Amino acid sequence: MRPRSRLPAPPEQPRLDERPRRPSVPRGTAFWLVALAFAVIMLGTTLPTPLYVLYQHRLGFSTLMSTVIFAAYAVGVLTALVLFGRVSDILGRRRTLLPGLACAVLSALVFLSADNLPLLIVGRVLSGLSAGVFTGTATATLVDLVDLADEGAGERATLVATVANMGGLGTGPLLAGLLAQLAPDPLRLPFEVHLGMLAVVTAGVWLMPEPVEVTGRPRLRMTRPRVPEQVRATFLQASIAGFAGFAMLGLFTAVAPSFLGRLLHLHDPALSGAVVCTVFAASAIGQITLVRPLGRAALPVGCALLIAGMALLIAGLAAGALGLLLGAAVTAGLGQGVSFRAGLGAINAEAPGGQRAEVASTYFTVLYVAISVPVVGVGLAADVVGLRAAGIGFGLAVALLAVSALVAVRRGLRERRTGALT
């Protein structure tokens, strides 16, 4: 009897609960794609800086309104920090970064069509939302994507995040200033270029592997600003210095083009962008190169540099000297970078482990209030007493804040030494 031939098995059907796997790049490649996306997002937040004067001429608004438009960015950042600060731990890093990129795309599209004040404000709020989402999530993503078994990998990831953040902030005004100098329509080309950059980095983030386990659906919950009692003294010292430093950043970012144009009669957008870029570049250099060698002296040194920078700013505004303004940008930028990173490090070192993120979020809330509210005061004062007097008064106020922080830090160091001896 002939043996029966065995029929071929039917092809295996895919299970209904299986989804096709999304293509992704290796974690090492994803690390640099996320760093690039972080830089591009932050670049977009300072892109309008050298263009504010052009918007003023086209739409006919005052210096006060220019500072209000700038401050709208901080509203977006604070909203994102308060409402979405913990979302990526639940929803996943990639799914949180993509909406941040979408906000940046919408911001650029709004600026491309902005022909009135409300649209400019909407564009700035959307830009702030993108930065607020990215600031914490992208930094956490970079740490998640490295091999933490490698000693020092986490610290290197944090350093890359710092460079991406400050490098993007500094590149934005420089790029916009150069493009505005060369373009026939200077209020369109910078945002068209930024949209092209966003398309590239969005593709990169789409292809990244998810580095954390998705645990459920996110709940929209406000993050309450709280500081535990044992860290309040250090928090106060760091916050005063940080407030002074970020208020200085707000001044240069919002009003520096007006200083150059109205007081020094220098109207080149490229020069305005370069001056603002100098502040952020100096901040990054201070954070990367000076904080660790200075150790415990970093915070007082940062305050002293801020005081010196404000003295140069006051002298530059009084004399109408570009060299003094550039010296102020470098010196104050170094002081801001050193005091900011030293203050954050001191807070993280003393905060309880389970409340560290909460305390850091409170610290950033203080800083983003500092970058927006005081500079609106400058705009208001400029309409009343003039831009030169308003800038000089602001410089004095920031210097006094830095002096008070310096006194508090030195008193704290003295008390610690006394406690250690007893």
SS (H, E, C) 237-257: HHHHHHHHHHHHHHHHHHHHH
What does the block give as tokens for 421? 């001896």
Label residue 125 by pLDDT band (50, 70, 90): very high
Instruction: Examine the pLDDT at 396 and tell me if it is beyond 70.
Output: yes
Question: In this predicted model, what pLDDT tens digit does every residue of 363-377 receive, in sequence order?
Answer: 888 888 898 888 899
In a domain, 14, yes or no: no
Q: To the nearest whole percent, how much of the chain has pLDDT over 90?
A: 48
Q: Return the minimum-mean-pLDDT range out of 95-104, 132-141, 302-311.
A: 132-141
pLDDT of residue 355: 65
Instruction: Examine the pLDDT at 362 and tell me if it is beyond 60.
Output: yes
In a domain, 272, yes or no: yes
Q: Which residue carries 């929803």 as its tokens?
A: 91
Instruction: Examine the pLDDT at 150 and tell me if it is beyond 90.
Output: no
Question: In this predicted model, what pLDDT tens digit does every residue of 188-202 receive, in sequence order?
Answer: 999 999 999 999 999
Q: What is the CATH number of the domain that holds 133?
A: 1.20.1250.20
User: Where does a domain end: 143, 177, 212?
Assistant: 212
Give the C-alpha distances (Å, rounded to integers) separating 7 from 4, 10, 13.
9, 9, 17
Label residue 185 by pLDDT band (50, 70, 90): confident
pTM of the entire predicted model: 0.85
Domain of residue 289, residue span:
226-422
Backbone angles phi and psi of 351, in degrees to 5: -70, 145
Label residue 17 by pLDDT band (50, 70, 90): very low
Largest CA distance in the chain: 113
Amino acid 367 reads L
Instruction: Examine the pLDDT at 18 and tell me if it is beyond 50.
Output: no
In a domain, 315, yes or no: yes
Contact 412, 235 (CB under 8 A): no
Total tally of structural domains belonging to the chain: 2
